[in-house]
Structure 1
């Protein structure tokens, strides 16, 4: 029976599709040159010294390749890898069950590690540093602590919010990799590889258009490529720039990479609230989305693109955001003079 705490990241068609496109080595991994170079030195040094690699924390926005890099770490070192996630580890006993089942040298990947329960985090401190844990047996006056030795392992943690990790946990990672959003040129290389694996022939200009609208994120780029492939199959269109643009228009992805909810948030600030400021809860009620979704999914991209800003009084639309929303500003008028 599959253990839900360590079940691999698989199951849905979408995740299976993404898994088929994952690179399997650092040499195949596109982008993040600094992180790739750092990991290569770390892993090769551990192999030369015949020791378990240091614990590794992978931090960065969703979709940039943290899970892929964890799989590559296992492949590059020739070690088995076990998968878990922070939300699945809600008690110290959950973590103890996972750790005690590890074999020597195994890689343990914990996704969303910042969402682990505090009691499990405290147990993890000792496990990472000394490869042992203390298990409490019994209750009350008769309770006793039994030390349990663990097989040496490498913990690879992934987080989109490294600031939420307690300092004692962050300090126990030997290396922290900060993944950045991809440049358009790197995304073109990602899309070129994926298109080849999917047997989709796209012109360079079409790949460039897809890369430009993919928000600097390989996961989004591959999903848009899948939608373009579907559109071309149905319409039997040529694999050119016009076909890509038609497919992306159908799926509500505009020239800047904004989707329906992105535009709804931007247009609400620009039109309904006169450019802002407007509070997050009011904005969420206006567009019919959860405040957490707007804050975690929509805002980071709009802020990074310079379309909205955060102020102590609320969210505002920048001049660039107002122009994108179709509001003519004095700056826009001057630009056209």
Structure 2
């Protein structure tokens, strides 16, 4: 089992209380995601003017970008209570019926990872979202009876990291869909400035830039790194954190200037030094770094591909020129990206992440 990563977008249980304290409480305090904020503000304002519950909202995007925070803000802006649950916790239609039947009028129901909800519960949610009604089945077999149960108007806020796994009928029942994008360094600096104020930290502008540049475009990671820098500064009795102090702290935690951690660099280094830049299959690459293929594919690979350090082709993973540059290694004349350009045409990028090719990605090409 892989050790927890400092630059993972997932939320660790022990940091939830700290994250809750750093979360903005109102839409005006939420940093970044200007397009989604503007659209969501209009939806909420219109519902207030109508005196009705807001339309159901679907928030999608990678972990750590603020989906849960926005759900809490929606409830606060509507001055409504918030009920929180998750898709994996709802495995039976009865579980969902119990939650829905206990909602009060205007309440906001937040379902995290809604794509992982069971199919029977999902089908019950269709009618609840559209008609504010559910049918409770009593009995079994020929004697089963469906009892209709009217629900008070409520707002469902669904969050998902994999919107493509949501069935069309469920996705179409949301009145507003917002996709959250990764943050720029400038936006992350604003997030860090706000968090530093709440944590009573003295950080220079260069210090904020240093932390933001290593945060993978994700506010949750930025706040996590800021807390680790705070710990380092406290132990070393540094009152004001500048770029040098921030860099020293994060170097100690093995987070480099691009935000790569030990696993990321291990994958990249193995790809370049052990396999000549590829192409190499996922299983072989995972064995080389001593990790499970799922860990490499879900934890390390997305960021490496997004940063242009790794490419995916039907024959396996390949290193790009940026990977050699980041590792400080000379560029070989027979590097695999030349093969990729030949295969996909001049100037074309490596093959995109296509689910149809996943079986080929899992094949070892030694």
* Structures share fold, TM-score greater than 0.5: yes
Cα displacement (A) at 1:119: 1.1
Retained in 1: the 8 A contact 2:270–2:289?
yes
Cα displacement (A) at 1:326: 3.3
TM-score normalised to the size of structure 1? 0.93
1:302 aligns with 2:304: yes
Q: Which residue of 1 aligns with 2:295?
A: 293
Larger mean CA deviation between 275-284 and 307-316 belongs to: 275-284
The 5 A counterparts of 1:51-130 are 51-130=52-131
TM-score normalised to the size of structure 2? 0.86
Distance 2:284 2:123 in 1: 38
Pairs aligned (count): 324
Retained in 2: the 8 A contact 1:270–1:325?
no
* Cα offsets for 1:103-144 (capped at 9, x unmatched): 111000000001111111111111111111111111111111
Distance 1:216 1:267 in 2: 23
Retained in 2: the 8 A contact 1:91–1:120?
yes
Distance 1:115 1:285 in 2: 29
Distance 2:282 2:169 in 1: 32
Q: Give the 3-state SS of the residue equivalent to 1:215 in structure 2.
A: coil
Distance 1:92 1:178 in 2: 28
Q: Which residue of 1 aligns with 2:4?
A: none
Q: Which residue of 1 aligns with 2:215?
A: 214
* Cα offsets for 1:8-60 (capped at 9, x unmatched): xx994311111100000011000011111001000000000001100000000
* Cα offsets for 1:45-82 (capped at 9, x unmatched): 00000011000000000000000000000000001010
Retained in 2: the 8 A contact 1:183–1:216?
yes
Cα displacement (A) at 1:330: 4.8
Cα displacement (A) at 1:325: 2.7
Distance 2:12 2:280 in 1: 40
Distance 2:168 2:292 in 1: 30
Please report the RMSD computed on the Cα atoms of aligned residues, expressed in angstroms: 1.7
Q: Which residue of 1 aligns with 2:39?
A: 38
Structure 1 stretches of at least 4 aligned residues deviating more than 3 Å after TM superposition = 10-13
